[in-house]
Amino acid sequence: MTRTLLLDGVALGVGAAGLTLLVRPAAARGLLRIADSEPATYGLRIGGAMILAAGLFLASFTTAWSLAQ
């Protein structure tokens, strides 16, 4: 149970980071010191969507594994 909660917390953090990149790429661009350009915005949004998906997959597989035991 503790391992599941820990991994779900990690998944929540990863999902939050991905959602931040997806919704507010300007804030992430400022932190990463990337030039303000349209390709950079698209890249950050695509990367944010991929990181958000990784967080969702981690949370769902962790929960499924916990429920299967």
53 DSSP 8-state letter? H
Residue range 12-20: average pLDDT?
A: 94
Q: Are 57 and 14 in contact (CB under 8 A)?
A: no
Q: Is the pLDDT of residue 69 over 90?
A: no
Contact 58, 9 (CB under 8 A): no
- pLDDT category of residue 58 using cuts at 50, 70 and 90: very high
Across the chain, mean pLDDT equals 91
Q: How many structural domains comprise the chain?
A: 1
* Enclosing domain of residue 60: 2-68
